[in-house]
Amino acid sequence: MIKLRLKRFGKKREASFRLVATNSTSRRDGRPLEELGFYNPRTKETRLDTEAIRVRLSQGAQPTDTVLSLLEKGGLIEKTVRPAETVGKQKQADARDAAAKQAKKDAEAAAAAAKAEAEAAKAAAAAAEAPAEDAPAEA
C-alpha cells in the first residue's frame, strides 16, 4: 500500500519535512517513490505539488493524519469530521455542563450556608438582649 507521509530532514531542533509517497513498509526517512511537497512547522510554510498529489490519491494512496490535515488546509481534500473528534468534543461539552452545574450547586449551598449563619447570628444577638431586659434594675 502507498502512503503519503512526512520525511524529516534538517538540523537538530530545526526540523523540516518533505511530503512523500512511499511504500507503507519502508522506513520514515527511507527512499521515497516520489516527493510531493514540503512543510516547515516552524514557519508554517507549505508547498504542495497538487497534480502529483491528486494522481497518488486517485491511485489509492492513504495519507497519514498529519498529511491529511495539511492537505485539508491546502484545499486538496474536503475537510471531514473524524469520529474521534466528535466524541472528544462531546466529552468536553459534557464536562463543561457538569462543571457549570456543580458550580451553580456550590453557589446555592454557599448562599444557603451564609443565610443560615446570618440567621444564627441574629438569633444569638436576640438571645443576648433578652436576658438583659428581664433582669431587675439595680439602683
Helix (H, G, I), strand (E, B) or coil at 42: coil
**What would the pLDDT profile of 83-98 be if each residue is shown by its tens digit?**
777 888 888 999 999 9
- What pTM was estimated for this model as a whole? 0.55
Q: What is the identity of the amino acid at 89?
A: K
* CATH architecture for residues 2-74: 2-Layer Sandwich (3.30)
Residues 96-111 have pLDDT tens digits of: 999 999 999 999 999 8
pLDDT tens for each residue of 28-71: 777 888 899 999 989 989 998 989 999 999 999 899 998 998 88
Neighbours of 2 (CB within 10 A): 16
| pLDDT per position as a tens digit, 66-83 | 899 888 888 888 877 777
pLDDT band at 120 (very low <50, low <70, confident <90, very high): confident
Cβ distance 19 to 36 under 8 Å?
yes
53: nearest Cα among 26, 35, 78:
35
Q: How far apart are CA 136 and CA 139, in angstroms?
A: 10
Residue type, 45: E
Beta-bridge mates of residue 18: 7, 38
